[in-house]
Each structure stands twice: as C-alpha cells, then as structure tokens.
C-alpha cells in the first residue's frame, strides 16, 4: 500500500470513458482519486453526485477527479444515470472498474474487516472510502480514509486541495480550519 510522500502507483484500467492510464490521465494536473465500496449504494451515490456538482471548482484548481469502484463498467454506466438524476448534474469524470481489486490492493483501499467475506465461490473484500490527492509529480500528497458507513465531505477535500496547492506553490503551512485567502505560516 502507499503512504503520503510515495510515488502514486500507475495503472491502466477500463473506465466509463474508455481505457485509462493513470499517469497519462493526470498529465500535469493534480488528481483526487476516490474509491467506493459498491455501485448503486446510497452513500456512494451522494458522494459521486457531490463531486460532480463541484467539478467546476476542481477544474479551477487544475484537479482531475477519478472515481474507482469494484463493479463492472456496465454497472458504472447504469449507476451514472442514477447519480445524475439524484444530483441534478452531469458526471463529467471517469469511474474506473477494479473488479479484480488490483488497484485497490496497490493503494491499500481494502477493508481488512471484510477481507474474507465469501460471495458465492470467491473470497472478496470491499473497498473503503479512500481519497488520494496526487500532485503533478505523481506523488501522494494526502490520504483520507473513511469507514464504509460514513460519507465524505467534498467541501473539505476542496479546502485540503487549496492548502496543499498553497504549500506546493509557496512553501508555507496552513493553520487549523484554514481557507484560501487567510494567513499562512512560514515553516521552520
């Protein structure tokens, strides 16, 4: 699994917009890579909808969104219709298929408490709600992990992107509850 400061593992995978090579998708952008336990679940639907609602805000910051779920593309495509209906906005970012959980394993996105759940004849594990913010050098700048029943706060993810970009551009630190435009700290 990866830690903050590690090179983000590259991968190629099917997505709702075709095959994606992670590094090529990033180009010189920042990225918010976020995983989901399962398509069509209510919490996941609200999260992907909220990310879609904030897509322009992420674009302003040169941040690409990339969702990941263990379900298949055909399910992702159907799910997008539900997400768009629920959130009243078009989903403009790809959702990656990780049915073999190879990306989830590389990044450490698997819920260890469910690692041996049996589904029919195969052992499966569900992905937890992970968020990886990757900078333009393809380095993991931040990792947030939420348990399955807790939805993410995308306004906080935007705030953290602002803080990381401010540090990246100016070498300063940000205090608790910092928002863009507020004072920063010169780091020792």
Which residue of the set 20, 32, 44, 158 is catalytic?
44
Query: Between the CA of residue 57 and those of 28, 63, 64, 105, 162, what are the distances in Å?
Result: 17, 9, 10, 30, 11
Cβ-based neighbours of 19, under 8 Å, separated by 6 or more: 12, 13
Check if the beta carbon of residue 25 is closer than 8 Å to that of residue 66: yes
Tally of residues, the chain: 188
φ, ψ for residue 19, nearest 5 deg: -70, 135
Residue 167: both structure tokens together: 């540090």
Instruction: Give the predicted TM-score (pTM) of the model.
Output: 0.91
For residue range 121-171, list pLDDT tens digits in order.
454 556 678 999 999 999 999 999 988 888 999 999 999 999 999 999 999
What pLDDT sits at residue 110?
72
Q: What is the mean pLDDT of each run of 10 residues along the chain (188 residues)?
A: 96 97 98 92 94 98 96 94 96 94 86 50 62 98 90 96 97 96 93
Examine the residue annotation and report whether 44 is marked as an active-site residue of this protein: yes
What pLDDT sits at residue 120?
44
Pairing of strands 122-124, 117-119: antiparallel
Instruction: State how far the Cα of 64 lies from the Cα of 44, in Å rounded to an integer.
Output: 19
Residue 100: both structure tokens together: 């073999």
């Amino acid at each position: 699994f990866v830690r903050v400061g590690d090179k983000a593992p590259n991968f190629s995978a099917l997505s709702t917009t075709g095959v994606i090579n992670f590094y090529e998708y990033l180009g010189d952008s920042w990225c918010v890579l976020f995983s989901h336990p399962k398509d069509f679940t209510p919490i996941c639907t609200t999260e992907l909808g909220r990310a879609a609602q904030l897509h322009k805000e992420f674009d302003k910051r040169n941040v690409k969104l990339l969702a990941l779920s263990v379900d298949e593309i055909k399910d992702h495509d159907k799910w997008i219709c539900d997400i768009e209906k629920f959130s009243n906005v078009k989903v403009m970012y790809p959702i990656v298929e990780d049915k073999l959980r190879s990306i989830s394993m590389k990044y450490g996105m698997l819920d260890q408490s469910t690692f041996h759940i049996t589904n029919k004849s195969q052992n499966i594990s569900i992905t937890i709600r992970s968020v990886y913010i990757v900078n333009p050098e393809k380095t993991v700048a931040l990792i947030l992990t939420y348990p399955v029943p807790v939805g993410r706060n995308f306004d906080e993810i935007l705030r953290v992107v602002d803080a990381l970009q401010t540090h990246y551009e100016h070498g300063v630190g940000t205090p608790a509850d910092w928002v863009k435009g507020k004072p920063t700290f010169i780091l020792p």
